[in-house]
Structure 1
C-alpha cells in the first residue's frame, strides 16, 4: 500500500505545472471534449508508466542492493532539484494531427511529452525502490489523473490560482526526503 500511496502523492504534486499538465490545458481549450482527452491521458500514462515501471523492476535485478541504494538515493535527490525547474510547453508538443481525432491526438501527444519527463523518471526510480512495481504504476497513473483531469475541466483559470513555486517546493522536499532516507538505508518511509 505504501508504494501506491507514495507514488500517487509524489506524481500528483510533481505533475502540477508540468508540461503534460499544460498540454492537458491546451487540448481541453482546443477540443472542448473532456471524455476522449481524459481517456487519452489514461491510456498514454498506462503505457508510458508501465514501461517505466518495468524498467525500474528490471534495474533491481541487475544492480546489487548497495549500488541500487546509492543510485536511488542520488536519483531522488536529482529529482528534487529538477522539480525546482519550471516546465514550459513547446509549440512542437502542441501540434495536433486532425486525422487521429481527439483521443488519438491526446494519446500520442501525451505519450511523447511524457518521454523522459519528471514523472516518468520518478516512476522508474520508485519501481526500482518498491517491490510492487504494479502498485507504483497504478499510483503514478492515479497521480497523473489527479493533476491532469481537473486541468481538462477547468483550464487556465485554475492553473493561475495555484502557487506553483510552493507545490514544486513540496514535491522537491518529498523527493529530497526519499533520497536522504534511501542513502541512510531507511526502509520504511511512512
Structure 2
C-alpha cells in the first residue's frame, strides 16, 4: 500500500513540476489565501483523478497483466516526450471568475487536468494496482505537494529556475521507467538488436524535434512561462514597492510623511492596497495634482519604474485585473513626470509617440528598455 502511494506521489510530482497547473496554482495564490488554493487543488484533483483511477481499475480487470505492463511502459515513454513539449500560457481562470475562491480553483484544476498527462498517469498507475485507493491518495498528494512547491519556491526563485533542467529531469525519469517496463514485459522475440536500435533512433529523432524550440527560445533569451509567471505574480508589486520607496525623498526632506497629499505617498497606498486586496480601487483624478506639492523627485528612478511597469503591462495586457492594477500605478508615475495621466490602449508605439510630445528625452529613455 505504502509503496503504491509513494510511487503515485513521485510520478505526479515529476509530471507536474513546471506544468501549467503548477503555474496556475501560483497565479491563484496572488488572489486567494494559500489554504483556499490548496483546498481547491485538493477538491479538483480528487474529482479528476478519482475518475481516472476508476477508469484504470475497470480496464485493468479486463486486460492481461503483461499487456497492461506494455501499455504502461508505452504510456511512460509518451509522458517522457510530452515533458519536452513547450507549454502555452493558458488562462483557465477567466471562465471561472464568478465562483468562490475554493470552487474557482477546484473547477480550474478539474478542467485543466482533463486529458492531461497527469490524469493519464493516474490511469496508467491504477490499471495494475492492488490498492487503487492509495494510488488516488498518492496522485492527489502529488498535486498538493507540487502546487505548494510552486507557490512557496516560485515566490522566491521562480524566475531563476532553468526550464530545460526541469523538463529534462521529468523526461529522463519517465523515459527510464518506461523503457524498463517495455524491456521486461515484451516477449523475447521483440527484444533484439534491431528493435532496440529502432527504438533508440525513434526516441532521439522525436526528442530532438521537441527540444529544438526550447533551445531556440533559450538562445533568444526568452523567459519560460514558469519564469514569466513567477515574475508576474510575486515580484512586480513588491518591486514597485521598493522602487517607490527609493523615489520617496524621506522625512529628512519632507518632514512628516504627507500621505495622499504627495504623489509618492499616494502611490505607496495604491501598491499596499494591491498587495493586500489583490486589486486597486484608488483612481488618479485629473485635478488631484493641485494638492500634490511639486518636489524634486529623481526622474531617472521614476522613468525606470515606468519602464518596468510598461514591460509588465505589455506582457499581461489581456488580463483585465492585472491591466487595471498596472494602469493605476502607471498613471501615478505619469502624474509624477508630466503632472497628468496618459492613455494606453496596448499600442506601445502610439504611447511612446504621445510621450515624445511631452518630453522627447523621457521617450528615448523608455524606448531603450522596451
Same structural fold, with TM-score higher than 0.5 when normalized by the shorter chain: yes
- What does 1:7-156 align with in structure 2 at a 5 Å threshold? 7-29=8-30, 31-91=31-91, 93-153=92-152, 155-156=154-155
Q: TM-score, normalised by structure 2?
A: 0.47
Unaligned runs of 5+ in 1: none
- Which structure shows the bigger proportion of residues in helix conformation? 1
SS of structure 2 residue aligned to 1:37:
helix
Compared with structure 1, are the counterparts of its residues 158 and 54 closer, same or farther at alpha carbon in structure 2 (3 Å cutoff)? Answer: farther
CA distance in 1: counterparts of 2:126 and 2:17, whole angstroms: 21
CA distance in 1: counterparts of 2:119 and 2:153, whole angstroms: 25
Compared with structure 1, are the counterparts of its residues 74 and 23 closer, same or farther at alpha carbon in structure 2 (3 Å cutoff)? Answer: same
Deviations 1:34-58 (A, max 9, x none): 1211100011111111111111111
CA distance in 2: counterparts of 1:156 and 1:86, whole angstroms: 22
Compared with structure 1, are the counterparts of its residues 157 and 87 closer, same or farther at alpha carbon in structure 2 (3 Å cutoff)? Answer: farther
Offset at 1:145? 1.1
CA distance in 1: counterparts of 2:88 and 2:128, whole angstroms: 29
122-131 or 104-113: which moved more? 122-131
Counterpart in the other structure of 1:173: 172
The answer to whether the 8 Å contact 1:7/1:126 transfers is yes
CA distance in 1: counterparts of 2:7 and 2:39, whole angstroms: 24
Compared with structure 1, are the counterparts of its residues 65 and 154 closer, same or farther at alpha carbon in structure 2 (3 Å cutoff)? Answer: closer
Counterpart in the other structure of 1:2: 3
Offset at 1:174? 1.8
**Count of residue pairs brought into register by the alignment:** 184
- What does 1:174-189 align with in structure 2 at a 5 Å threshold? 174-185=173-184
CA distance in 1: counterparts of 2:124 and 2:24, whole angstroms: 24
Deviations 1:42-83 (A, max 9, x none): 111111111111111112112122322221111111111111
Offset at 1:98? 4.2
Compared with structure 1, are the counterparts of its residues 173 and 98 closer, same or farther at alpha carbon in structure 2 (3 Å cutoff)? Answer: closer
Compared with structure 1, are the counterparts of its residues 76 and 97 closer, same or farther at alpha carbon in structure 2 (3 Å cutoff)? Answer: closer
SS of structure 2 residue aligned to 1:152:
helix
Compared with structure 1, are the counterparts of its residues 89 and 59 closer, same or farther at alpha carbon in structure 2 (3 Å cutoff)? Answer: farther
CA distance in 1: counterparts of 2:14 and 2:152, whole angstroms: 18
Unaligned runs of 5+ in 2: 186-370
Computing the radius of gyration over CA atoms, which structure comes out larger, 1 or 2? 2
175-184 or 113-122: which moved more? 175-184
CA distance in 1: counterparts of 2:106 and 2:63, whole angstroms: 33
CA distance in 2: counterparts of 1:161 and 1:143, whole angstroms: 23
> Larger relative CO (CA 8 A, sep 6+): 1 or 2?
1
Compared with structure 1, are the counterparts of its residues 132 and 162 closer, same or farther at alpha carbon in structure 2 (3 Å cutoff)? Answer: farther
CA distance in 2: counterparts of 1:163 and 1:98, whole angstroms: 31
